[in-house]
Amino acid sequence: MTPARLGLLQVSLAGILWGTGGLAVQVVRDATPMSVLVISAWRMLVAAVVLGLAVLLLRRLGAVADLLREQPRRAVLVGASTAAYQALYFGAVVQVGVSVATVVSLGLAPVLLTVGESVRARRRPTPTRLLVLAAAVGGLLLVSVGAGGGAGPHPVLGVLAAVGSGSAYALTTVLGRPLAQTCGPLALTTTTTTVGAVVLLPLALVSGLSGSPVVTADAVAVATLAYLGLVTMALAYALLYAGLRTTSGSTAVIATLLEPATAAVVAAVFLDERIGVAGMAGTALILAAVAGLGEEPAVPPG
């Protein structure tokens, strides 16, 4: 397998793992009325603790120190942007509904990155890339329509939050890719996840003051929070950063659109939710778009 295809596979796996997060969040909320902000903070905190232990056991603390010494601002920005992306996305879901929040947030990022990369390279995107992008965003729209969901109480505020989320996601990818090419995935994921946890914890405490439980003794909730931190955060982001070594930012965010497609399939299997014709067509389009990415040449570092 070529490095480019391996990188695409790693990023795609990250998107699939993220797609299981929605079910996990619902399991937690069925067990205890935690706010999604508190759940997100626990997710990043669990990941940071586990990754920190892995760094110590594997004696990779020096790599973390090197990253913080050589690229402190970029590392902090990537971590803070990751936290902002999650918080703004969850806020958009509450204010405008799942469908609109997903389309705007996840659909905006690949468009922004494709435009940015074209401006930087001073050439138009190839017809193949435009076709792949159109298929991916169109598939995302169909999956979101198939998932349904209400409009939400504050549509304008929700759309603005979704735009902020998509922009933060794009920024995370742009800033994270150069770091991924000079720093190991473990050190990079540990550093950025720890920063993200530090950013989200105060917001989670404020959410707790508003009535949301901050801790729980429920065994199912605790196990699911551990899954969210270990699998959908620590492992998924390590795969993302490993894949970014040989894939462009726009390629990566298109591949991670497997997240909503996976979420729709998981909901159909475990929650008995109907995907519908639109959802099935959208999933097929996203899969076709990701397959099309595999035919593109490897990108140079930078």
Q: What pLDDT is attached to residue 128?
A: 82
Q: What pLDDT is attached to residue 65?
A: 95
Q: What pLDDT is attached to residue 31?
A: 92
Q: What pLDDT is attached to residue 233?
A: 95
Q: What pLDDT is attached to residue 149?
A: 55
CB 183 within 8 A of CB 52: no
Burial call 72-109: b when 16+ CB within 10 Å, e when fewer: eeebbbbbbbbbbbbbbbbbbbbbbbbbbbbbbbbbbb
Q: What pLDDT is attached to residue 255?
A: 86
Task: Please tell me the distance from the alpha carbon of residue 212 to that of residue 104, in angstroms, as a whole number.
Answer: 27
CB 134 within 8 A of CB 282: no
Q: What pLDDT is attached to residue 47?
A: 97
176 CB burial (10 A radius; 0-12, 13-18, 19+):
buried
Going by C-beta distance under 8 Å and a sequence separation of 6 or more, which residues neighbour residue 301?
178, 181, 245
Sign for the CA dihedral angle at 61, 67, 70, 74 comes to negative
Among residues 257, 243, 124, the alpha carbon closest in space to that of 180 is found at: 243
What string of DSSP letters covers the chain? Answer: --HHHHHHHHHHHHHHHHHTHHHHHHHHHHHS---HHHHHHHHHHHHHHHHHHHHHHTT-HHHHHHHHHHSHHHHHHHHHHHHHHHHHHHHHHHHH-HHHHHHHHHHHHHHHHHHHHHHHHTSPPPHHHHHHHHHHHHHHHHHHHHH-----S-HHHHHHHHHHHHHHHHHHHHHHHHHHTTS-HHHHHHHHHHHHHHHHHHHHHHHHHTT--S----HHHHHHHHHHHIIIIIIHHHHHHHHTTTS-HHHHHHHTTHHHHHHHHHHHHHS----HHHHHHHHHHHHHHHHHHTTSPPPPP-
State which residues of the chain have pLDDT below 70.
97-99, 146-152, 271, 273, 275, 294-302
pTM, 2 dp: 0.85
Among residues 100, 89, 77, the alpha carbon closest in space to that of 22 is found at: 89
